[in-house]
């Protein structure tokens, strides 16, 4: 070292900025540099006793660094310019490692250009933490978008959570900070320490693009085993090849909605939830045995508060650590597909929670959220609203959607809270919202985003047949129409109107149902305006709404009979089906995320009977094309009796357009009706293939002795008719021979 240059070419201003953690470009000072005095190496290692430079080729010491600042800055001349390692003495504990600041940029100019263009595939490829090899050295590449930060450091156990140790390089063109940390491996915990442009050190931030996280209540990110995901041994090729047909509007789709953490808690082990391997062993055979075609999970992306049921996620690329490592989820999906069960995820793109370690004010500015609280704050949920008009935010969320489909082979995404995204005045009083550029209430940026998501899902290579489903509760037109036709591009929409109307009807005492008859028929007025899913979801059995069984009037027997009749109506009505866990066996209690469904009730005949009915309805629905093939086409349904409000009776035909035909009759009073004539299209024998009043389901076993023969008596516009016995509070299904 030159006596004339004790700082080895460093200016005192740079020294102060480095040791104070304020330097905007650490690579300009740290690592190998050529100075007037010769080749030098500089490193910032607070707490180190001494540092030597070791030639990577032969282990020879080629320089000893002097401590030029007591806060851990070391520098000195080296004998020659060649690859090297740092030998660090941590006061008796020796470590030898490559110098982070000896490596060049790790993201290519092309990758940066793609990120700058807000390419979601660039987000998937570049951002987050990725084990990799650089110049033959294994380590982890970190990259995070924080364009307005003054300094970003990656911190973790590997550097004692000291933000001075690993400040990152800013790639200005994309606003992305990057760093390669040698010898780091999968499993390492980390966060980002960010200094805002006004000099504030922000609360430590989790990685928005992390593939794995710590288990709550811990909030750190974890370097995932990328090779374990990228090279997962998928064996579901046959399922993927046939998925488009299985999930089309003409296919039978019966969805079992599940809160994964509480579906089956292990009481003897602290009431813990099952991990993905245990869920694969238990949930998949149960759902298939019940006849469901798909399981749909409430959001499984990592979320800090379990009481949000996943609807306030902070790591939208990471399966929650509550269920084990990410490979476990891949294992579950693969097992499900091998067995013939589809997997749908609830996905949240409307908002995110305001936890300090999350996305809020990520780089000290409103980066992911709107700056104006009239646009950026959800007063209903105390959450922040994504700024979907910002291209980088849109790309981030599109990348999240694609990640679940590409990395985990998920079959579909049910997009949460679409109504809240479409309208700027959603749940806001006058003066509390900002109109769009035309002065209207429509959220043009969110509309464009939703179209983009659906377009990307529709055309993404490697995800043939994947679907998107909108939870949308308004009369917004064209939710399932193609974007080129002015629609949003979803494949299906939850029919919230049908659900509200029919549950309102069922809640009424049968004496008064005659005055609410239209609630059961109105759904057919708009049944073909969209491709619908009929949802009896978790939303209907929480927050004091009571269970499905609890909504039914009458004594205990009548409550069960009402629910069975309602299920019969639902499963034979046009639209795909969705039922939340616990509803399939008519549990009394509301959904409680801290407890399991009340499985012990299956020991009681009435509850077991409802479960048996749901199983049989699913099997009938899947087996008979008349009940599903023309769900979204007018030719598949015809009212036979839609105006008998005096008796609260409904009758209708279902057909598949190819000769299969079903007649359904519902009696929503506790009064048996004998001699009830129904018009039939086809003559001959009609089998009674399902009767919700059957004894096996807990009913009174009143019915039609297995079937009826038509008479040449015209009725209800049909040339034939049959005289039926309608059981009390029951739905019967007749199939033409």
pLDDT number for residue 3: 46
Confidence of residue 24 (pLDDT cuts 50, 70, 90): confident
Which structure tokens are listed for 494?
A: 């939850």
- Cα within 13 Å of Cα(515), Cβ side: 5
Which structure tokens are listed for 404?
A: 């679940």
Per the DSSP assignment, residues forming a β-bridge with 313 are none
Which DSSP string corresponds to 477-540?
TTTTS-GGGTS---SEEE-HHHHHHHHHHHHS-GGGGGGGTHHHHGGGGSTTSS-EEEEE-GGG
Are 166 and 153 in contact by the 8 Å Cβ rule? The answer is yes
Per the DSSP assignment, residues forming a β-bridge with 423 are 442
Residue 89 among the catalytic residues: no
Catalytic residue, chosen from 98, 392, 471, 638, is 471
Tell me the average pLDDT across 651-668.
Answer: 96
DSSP class of residue 200 equals: P
pLDDT number for residue 25: 92
What's the CA gap between 202 and 626, in Å, rounded? 60
Q: Give the closest residue to 735 by CA, choosing from 639, 650, 627.
A: 627
Are 183 and 98 in contact by the 8 Å Cβ rule? The answer is yes
Handedness of CA 67, 72, 75, 80 (dihedral sign): positive
- Cα within 13 Å of Cα(608), Cβ side: 7
DSSP class of residue 386 equals: B
Q: Where do runs of H (alpha helix) occur along 41-186?
A: 109-116, 120-126
Three-state DSSP class for residue 731: strand
Taking the CB of residue 97, how many other CB atoms lie within 10 A of it?
A: 17
Which structure tokens are listed for 374?
A: 């009239």
Provide the CA 121 distance to its chain's centre, in angstroms: 18
Tell me the average pLDDT across 106-115.
Answer: 97
What's the CA gap between 167 and 182, in Å, rounded? 14
Instruction: Using the predicted structure, report yes or no on whether residue 4 has a pLDDT greater than 70.
Output: no
Beta pairing class for 661-667 and 649-655: antiparallel
Kindly calculate the radius of gyration of the chain based on its CA atoms and give it in whole angstroms: 31
Percentage, residues of the chain above pLDDT 70: 99
Question: With the CA atoms of 99, 212, 143 and 179 taken in that order, what torsion angle do they form, in degrees rounded to the nearest 10?
Answer: 0
Handedness of CA 717, 723, 728, 731 (dihedral sign): negative
- Cα within 13 Å of Cα(716), Cβ side: 22
Instruction: Please measure the distance between the N-terminal and C-terminal CA atoms of the chain and give it in whole angstroms.
Output: 99
Length of the chain equals 737
What's the CA gap between 544 and 265, in Å, rounded? 23
CA angle 301, 142, 102 (to 5 degrees): 170
Instruction: Using the predicted structure, report yes or no on whether residue 2 has a pLDDT greater than 50.
Output: no
pLDDT number for residue 587: 97
Three-state DSSP class for residue 393: helix
Catalytic residue, chosen from 416, 530, 616, 638, is 416
CA angle 418, 419, 425 (to 5 degrees): 130
Tell me the average pLDDT across 35-53.
Answer: 94
Three-state DSSP class for residue 46: coil
Tell me the average pLDDT across 690-717.
Answer: 96
What's the CA gap between 349 and 661, in Å, rounded? 41
Residue-wise pLDDT tens digits, 155-191: 999 999 999 999 999 999 999 999 999 999 999 999 9
Percentage, residues of the chain above pLDDT 90: 95
Residue 693 among the catalytic residues: no
Summarize the chain as % helix, strand, coil (round to 5): 30, 30, 40
Tell me the average pLDDT across 22-35.
Answer: 93
What's the CA gap between 574 and 584, in Å, rounded? 20
Beta pairing class for 61-69 and 73-77: antiparallel
Angle 276-289/326-339 helices, nearest 10 degrees?
Answer: 20
Tell me the average pLDDT across 239-252.
Answer: 97
E strand residue ranges, 83-136: 84-90, 93-98, 128-134
Q: Which residues contact 584 (CB under 8 A, 6 or more apart)?
A: 256, 290, 610, 611, 614
What's the CA gap between 291 and 28, in Å, rounded? 63
What's the CA gap between 54 and 62, in Å, rounded? 6
**Model pTM?**
0.95
Distances from the Cα of 99 to the Cα of 18, 27, 462, 667, angstroms: 16, 11, 39, 78
Three-state DSSP class for residue 192: strand
């Amino acid at each position: 070292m030159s006596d004339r240059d004790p700082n080895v070419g460093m200016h005192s201003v740079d020294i102060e900025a480095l040791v104070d953690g304020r330097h905007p470009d650490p690579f300009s000072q740290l690592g190998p540099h050529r100075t007037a005095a010769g080749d030098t190496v500089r490193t910032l290692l607070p707490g180190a006793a001494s540092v030597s430079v070791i030639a990577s080729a032969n282990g020879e010491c080629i320089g000893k660094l002097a401590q030029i600042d007591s806060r851990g800055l070391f520098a000195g001349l080296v004998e020659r310019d060649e690859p090297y390692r740092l030998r660090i003495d941590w006061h008796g504990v020796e470590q030898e490692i490559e110098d982070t600041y000896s490596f060049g940029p790790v993201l290519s100019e092309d990758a940066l250009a793609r990120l700058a263009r807000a390419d979601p595939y660039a987000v998937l490829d570049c951002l987050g933490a990725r084990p990799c090899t650089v110049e033959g050295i294994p380590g982890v590449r970190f990259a995070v978008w924080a364009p307005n930060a003054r300094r970003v450091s990656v911190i973790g156990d590997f550097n004692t959570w000291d933000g001075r140790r690993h400040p990152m390089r800013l790639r200005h063109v994309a606003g992305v900070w990057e760093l390669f940390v040698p010898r780091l491996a999968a499993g390492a915990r980390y966060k980002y320490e960010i200094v805002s442009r006004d000099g504030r050190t922000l609360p430590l931030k989790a990685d928005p693009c992390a593939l794995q996280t710590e288990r709550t209540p811990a909030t750190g990110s974890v370097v995932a085993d990328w090779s374990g995901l990228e090279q997962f041994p998928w064996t579901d090729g046959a399922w993927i090849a046939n998925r488009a047909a299985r999930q089309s509007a003409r296919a039978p789709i019966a969805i079992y909605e599940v809160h994964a953490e509480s579906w089956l808690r292990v009481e003897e082990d602290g009431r813990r939830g099952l991990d993905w391997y245990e869920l694969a062993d238990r949930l998949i055979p149960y759902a298939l045995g019940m006849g469901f075609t798909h399981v749909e999970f409430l959001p499984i992306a990592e979320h800090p508060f379990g009481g949000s049921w996943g609807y306030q996620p902070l790591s939208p690329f990471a399966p929650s650590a509550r269920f084990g490592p990410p490979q476990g989820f891949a294992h579950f999906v693969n097992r499900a597909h091998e067995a013939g069960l589809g997997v749908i995820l609830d996905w949240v793109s409307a908002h995110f929670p305001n936890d300090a370690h999350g996305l809020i004010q990520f780089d000290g500015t409103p980066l992911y959220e709107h700056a104006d609280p009239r646009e950026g704050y959800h007063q209903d949920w105390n959450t922040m609203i994504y700024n979907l008009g910002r291209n980088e935010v849109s790309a981030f969320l599109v990348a999240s959607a694609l990640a679940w489909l590409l990395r985990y082979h998920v079959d579909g995404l049910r997009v949460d809270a679409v109504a809240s995204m479409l309208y700027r005045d959603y749940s806001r009083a006058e003066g509390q919202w900002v109109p769009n550029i035309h002065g209207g209430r429509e959220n043009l940026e969110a509309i464009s985003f939703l179209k983009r998501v659906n377009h990307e899902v529709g055309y993404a290579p490697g995800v043939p047949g994947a679907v998107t489903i909108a939870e949308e509760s308004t009369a917004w037109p064209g939710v399932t129409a193609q974007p080129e036709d002015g629609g949003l591009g979803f494949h299906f929409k939850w029919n919230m109107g049908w659900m509200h109307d029919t549950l309102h009807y069922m809640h009424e005492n049968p004496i008064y149902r005659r005055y609410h008859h239209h609630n059961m028929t109105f759904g057919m007025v708009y049944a073909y305006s969209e491709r619908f899913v009929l949802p009896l979801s978790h939303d209907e059995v929480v927050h004091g709404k009571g269970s499905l069984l609890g909504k039914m009037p009458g004594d205990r027997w009548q409550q069960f009979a009402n629910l069975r009749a309602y299920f019969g109506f639902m499963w034979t009505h046009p639209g795909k089906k969705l039922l939340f866990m616990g509803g399939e066996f008519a549990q009394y209690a509301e959904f409680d995320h801290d407890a399991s469904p009340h499985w012990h009730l299956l020991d009681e005949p009435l509850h077991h009977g409802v479960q048996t009915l749901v199983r049989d309805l699913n099997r009938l629905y899947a087996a008979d094309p008349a009940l599903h093939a023309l769900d979204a086409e007018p030719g598949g349904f015809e009212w036979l009796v839609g105006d008998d409000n005096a008796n609260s009776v409904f009758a209708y035909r279902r057909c598949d357009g190819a000769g299969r035909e079903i007649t359904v009759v519902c009696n929503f009073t506790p009064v048996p009706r004998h001699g009830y004539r129904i018009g039939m299209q086809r003559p001959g024998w009609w089998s009674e293939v399902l009767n919700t009043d059957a004894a096996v389901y807990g009913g009174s076993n009143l019915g039609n002795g297995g079937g009826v023969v038509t008479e040449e008596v015209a009725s209800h516009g049909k040339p034939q008719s049959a005289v039926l016995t309608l059981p009390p509070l029951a739905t019967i299904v007749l199939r033409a021979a």
